[in-house]
Homo-oligomer: A and B are copies of this chain.
């Protein structure tokens, strides 16, 4: 796993990120108490939403920063935490958009407020409205909070502005990717997205804010040159695409032990991944596709879909693309003047993308 790959040399750093995030929420919870129990519960659910992730983005920030600055600093920890807060906000708003009430196996912000309201005897539709409103507001609070943390970094003016630009740009790209993702889902009646649409969506939605932006922002804060920062953007883009494609393959072929979710859920949801876009080009797909995107899809139908994806050559094409993007990442790493430690960490990350539970 990516997290585990990078975590080893950086545990002290990520522990500090966790402490900063704890302090961030503790301070807000204290202020929220002046505004009643429900607002305290909103902040508690936001805090819990920020817990339990793999903290990939903070690790990338810290790794990139330390590679240039020589060692980790309080400011790098703050920047790393800001990325985690932003990530949490995006998850919350994604969940509202998808009407999901569960995240990481537990009720999310919307789920908690909906359940509490139902317990208080409110009708289910009102309870859901209150839940979703709560999650929209929690996400807004974390976006504002994350930007404030970045804005308050102690760094030379030009560096602080450049880091801010990277963060705002990654919000810009993540929104573009999410908007395209929703459109794809809405369209899947007939007008399914093609390879180009899906790769653009992945670059924006995942590669930018999960890989490129954390690497670039960390390096920028650590004093990297503009050329190195641009190179890290390119490396992050390749790694992010490879990571997401691997995730998509695992979503269909992985085991619950590796992915933490059933290998039926993406198929039931009708997730328009590149795997599916490729499979659609082949006649085998049409014969097996009836159950795709239906909540009732059973194991036998899923097996038929999986074998149609295999026989169409879609799985192999996606695996080839993962190999290519990882090779491109390794080329970009090799041909760069990245500091040695970062060089190694990113090469390991690329390898993990290819191999992760293959």
Contacts and interface: CB of A to CB of B under 8 A. Distances in A.
Contact of A136 (B93, B126, B147, B187): B93
A171 B187 CA distance: 35
B141 A172 contact: yes
9 contacts: A35-B176, A36-B200, A38-B179, A93-B140, A144-B168, A144-B171, A145-B168, A148-B164, A151-B151
Interface in A25-54: 28, 31-32, 35-36, 38-39, 42
B140 A171 contact: yes
Determine which residue in A28, A133, A134, A183 has the highest number of CB atoms from chain B within 10 A of its CB, and name it.
Answer: A133
B97 A141 contact: no
A117 B186 contact: yes
A104 B289 CA distance: 45
A129 B147 CA distance: 28
A145 to B, nearest CB: 7
Nearest to A129: B186
A173 B31 CA distance: 10
A20 to B, nearest CB: 16
Interface in A167-197: 167-168, 171-173, 175-176, 178-180, 182-183, 186-187, 189
Contacts of A151: 147-148, 150-151, 160, 164
A128 to B, nearest CB: 10
Contacts of A139: 140
Contact of A133 (B130, B167, B179): B179
Contact of A168 (B39, B148, B200): B148
